[in-house]
């Protein structure tokens, strides 16, 4: 299932206050990984100083599976530092972000990996999952998501249908760029810089199952911070000093 010396894909899973979801999430993930040893996968779990029993659950769960690397934050640092820690630790040729809240269905992973493993002339560098339906969202959050995507596409002159869902990227991208974001804008920043560097990006449909248990930590303040960073990055990208790598 895993080849620590030469993994093809590294799955990066930031976790905060997910004691009710992380066990099922890992079980479902490893059900898929067990069926696909050819992926040579590694799993990196970042426990971000949860205030519930998430850490205790994870420490028990990691005993059940091979190929898990565990990063523990003594204090909550936030989603973006956790994701960056996972990216820095990853050794795979490709890296893929997966949420710990069970909203993403791990049974969809073969759709992502099939594209990444295709070495044909139309090879794709980056795969973006797109939630065509978000029936599990409350109306207000759905409205915020639609407005956020519209604003990002308007500001950055792109046609991306989903900026903040499961994504897979080549590791060499992160060896080239210096990401600026400290908020949820990190995933859009990756997409924008990759577009500017001429990486080939493909969107595929993905099912949004909705949170299985617990409560999302995303709120207006967090979304506001992401929007502020989007505006700051738009200003930088519009300046003569802009470089896609720094």
Over residues 209-235, mean pLDDT? 84
Summarize pLDDT for 83-125 with one digit per residue, the tens.
999 999 999 999 999 999 999 999 999 999 999 998 665 789 9
User: Domain of 221?
Assistant: 9-237
For residue 2, being part of any structural domain is answered with no
Q: How many structural domains compose the chain?
A: 1
- Distance, CA of 28 to CA of 65 (rounded, Å): 12
For residue 242, being part of any structural domain is answered with no
**In whole angstroms, how large is the CA radius of gyration of the chain?**
17
* pLDDT for residue 138 is more than 70: no
- Distance, CA of 133 to CA of 71 (rounded, Å): 33
For residue 3, being part of any structural domain is answered with no
Over residues 47-57, mean pLDDT? 96
- pTM (2 d.p.): 0.92
- Distance, CA of 194 to CA of 173 (rounded, Å): 7
For residue 96, being part of any structural domain is answered with yes
Q: Residue 187 is part of a domain; what is its CATH number?
A: 3.90.550.10
- Residue pair 61/22 in contact by the 8 Å Cβ criterion: yes
For residue 150, being part of any structural domain is answered with yes
* pLDDT for residue 54 is more than 70: yes
More confident residue, 36 or 138: 36
For residue 27, being part of any structural domain is answered with yes
| Predicted pLDDT at 1 | 52
């Amino acid at each position: 299932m895993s080849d620590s010396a030469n993994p093809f894909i590294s799955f990066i899973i930031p976790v905060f206050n997910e004691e009710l979801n992380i066990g099922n999430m890992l079980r479902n993930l490893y059900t898929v990984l067990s069926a696909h040893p050819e992926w040579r996968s590694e799993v990196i779990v970042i426990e971000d100083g949860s205030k519930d029993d998430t850490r205790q659950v994870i420490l028990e769960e990691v005993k059940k599976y091979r190929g898990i690397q565990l990063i523990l934050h003594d204090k909550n640092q936030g989603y973006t530092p956790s994701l960056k820690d996972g990216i820095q630790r990853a050794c795979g040729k490709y890296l893929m972000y997966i949420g710990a809240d069970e909203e993403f269905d791990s049974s969809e992973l073969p759709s992502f990996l099939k594209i990444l493993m295709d070495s044909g002339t139309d090879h794709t560098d980056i795969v973006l999952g797109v939630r065509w339906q978000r029936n599990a969202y409350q109306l207000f959050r759905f409205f915020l998501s639609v407005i956020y995507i519209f604003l990002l596409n308007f500001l950055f002159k792109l046609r991306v249908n989903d900026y903040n869902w499961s994504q897979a990227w080549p590791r060499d991208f992160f060896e080239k760029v210096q990401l600026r974001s400290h908020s949820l804008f990190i995933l859009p920043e990756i997409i924008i810089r990759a577009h500017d560097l001429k990486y080939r990006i493909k969107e595929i449909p993905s099912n949004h199952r909705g949170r299985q248990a617990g409560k999302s930590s995303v709120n207006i303040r967090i979304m506001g911070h992401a929007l502020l960073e989007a505006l700051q990055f738009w200003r930088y990208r519009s300046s003569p000093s802009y470089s896609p790598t720094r």
